[in-house]
Amino acid sequence: MAKGEDVRAAIDYCYKKGWASDGLPVVPPTPEHVQEFLDYAERDPDEIVVTMEPIHRKCSVEKAAINAVMAGCLPEYFPTILSALEAMEDDRYNFHGSTASTGSCAPLLIINGPICQRLGVNSGINVFGPGFRPNATIGRTIRLIQLNVFGMYPGTFDQSTQGFPGKYTLCIGENEEESPWEPLHAEKGLPLESDAVTVWGARSAVQVQQRRAENPEGVLFTIIDTMCQISSVQNNRQTAVIMGPEHANLIARHGWSKADTKQFLFENSCRPIHSFEQLPTINPEKVNNPKDVKGFVQLGQTPEDILLVVAGGSNAGVSTVLHPWGWRMSSIAGAQPPAGVASMDYVTKEIPKPKMD
């Protein structure tokens, strides 16, 4: 056993080397500890999983493992981290742009499938809060990789104007047990019994309380009110609605499917054009969203611009709206966004099942 002063010296050494780059202490990464992660995932340590082309930097499986150790993960979390990084490598996610931007983006990770039970990923009470090792350390690993591997430090390459607490970790499970609807990964075409992780860039999280509603409209118009802040509506935006099970089950009891709910949210998330005319510095003609004949500006372009997930406890009528980091350019006729545009789309990736011994 290491002596107390050795433990403290090792932690201090990691601070001195700059590895505790989110400000919290890290687990000192020994080669043996890192090897356990590499053995578990059975991947080539030199294989590149994610890149940031504009700054010519890459993250290998080994570097990801070192940061997973430092973040406090268990080896069995590592395949989820690799799948999340591979999802971020997808151009639709915009890995470099979202990390560099003034828009203060935090990577949101949503985990689906039996893996939530296996690893103990929290999807219930306090789902966005602390207390659960997978949620705390899987999300933290992604952030440590952005900092330690890619050098995205605040003030240089990370220009986040204000940041947000989700940048420590923002990782949740979907509460599939208490959801009345098909889970996110099944909606995206993966088998129900598969494990999956979805990544998306979040700008902020706002809780929506509605404990008195007796019908779907009462819940959904309350959520829409939070979705439709001016700063989101003035550009094409996706929105993540993390609906509490109580809200979801109330809506489902009235016979509404998940698709019905997304359609309602999409159709009604709009602001009247005059709400822009009240702002002296915003020219309504420069609002980037389509305007319909009735003088409303839509938030999204299709019901697929609503990322609807059920999570949280079944103890109150509470949901959360996550406002998006990026514009929604990539949905326009399936076209790729022009270079330099802060576009963002969510990406779902299957997590390989552990090998049976």
Partner 1 sequence: MEKRGIPTAVICTEAFTTVAESMAEVQGLPNYDYAVIPHPLASLTDTEVEERARFILPKIVSLLTSQSSPKED
Q: Is beta strand 195-209 parallel, antiparallel or unpaired with respect to 106-112?
A: antiparallel
- Other beta carbons within 10 angstroms of residue 306's beta carbon come to 21
Q: Out of 131, 156, 162, 193, name the contact with partner 1 by CB under 8 A.
A: 156
DSSP per-residue codes, 145-156: IIIIIT---BTT
Task: Select 212 or 281, whichever has its Cβ closest to partner 1.
Answer: 281
Count of residues that interact with partner 1, criterion CB under 8 A? 10
Residues near 250 by beta carbon (within 8 Å), at least 6 away in sequence: 213, 214, 215, 216, 219, 317
Tokens read off for 142: 């992604």
- Minimum CB separation from partner 1 for residue 150, in Å? 11
Task: Select 101 or 238, whichever has its Cβ closest to partner 1.
Answer: 101
Stretch of 16-24, 55-63, 85-93, 291-299 lying at the interface with partner 1 (CB under 8 A) = 55-63
290 makes contact with partner 1 (CB under 8 A): no
- Minimum CB separation from partner 1 for residue 159, in Å? 6
- Minimum CB separation from partner 1 for residue 55, in Å? 5
Task: Select 54 or 120, whichever has its Cβ closest to partner 1.
Answer: 54
Stretch of 59-67, 85-93, 106-114, 154-162 lying at the interface with partner 1 (CB under 8 A) = 154-162
Task: Select 83 or 160, whichever has its Cβ closest to partner 1.
Answer: 160
Q: How far apart are alpha carbons 298 and 314 in whole angstroms?
A: 31
Strand ranges, E, within the chain = 48-52, 57-60, 106-112, 171-173, 195-209, 239-243, 270-272, 296-298, 306-310, 318-324, 347-351
70 makes contact with partner 1 (CB under 8 A): no
- Minimum CB separation from partner 1 for residue 342, in Å? 12
- Minimum CB separation from partner 1 for residue 141, in Å? 24
Task: Select 125 or 279, whichever has its Cβ closest to partner 1.
Answer: 279
Q: How far apart are alpha carbons 118 and 197 in whole angstroms?
A: 14
Stretch of 49-57, 129-137, 218-226, 318-326 lying at the interface with partner 1 (CB under 8 A) = 49-57
Stretch of 14-22, 60-68, 149-157, 325-333 lying at the interface with partner 1 (CB under 8 A) = 149-157
Q: Out of 100, 145, 171, 299, name the contact with partner 1 by CB under 8 A.
A: 100
235 makes contact with partner 1 (CB under 8 A): no
Contact 301, 332 (CB under 8 A): yes
Which candidate, 18, 11, 95, 29, places its Cα nearest to that of 65?
29
Tokens read off for 124: 């219930």
Tokens read off for 296: 């409303």
56 makes contact with partner 1 (CB under 8 A): yes
Tokens read off for 228: 């439709």
What separation in angstroms does the CA of 46 have from each of 39, 60, 63, 84, 88?
A: 13, 5, 9, 18, 18
Stretch of 52-60, 112-120, 222-230, 247-255 lying at the interface with partner 1 (CB under 8 A) = 52-60
155 makes contact with partner 1 (CB under 8 A): yes
Q: Out of 37, 93, 157, 325, name the contact with partner 1 by CB under 8 A.
A: 157
Quickly tell me which residue has 């959904």 as its tokens: 220
55 makes contact with partner 1 (CB under 8 A): yes
Q: Out of 8, 24, 44, 54, name the contact with partner 1 by CB under 8 A.
A: 54
Tokens read off for 122: 């929290």
One-letter amino acid of 4: G
> Which positions touch partner 1 (CB under 8 A)?
54-57, 100, 155-157, 159, 281
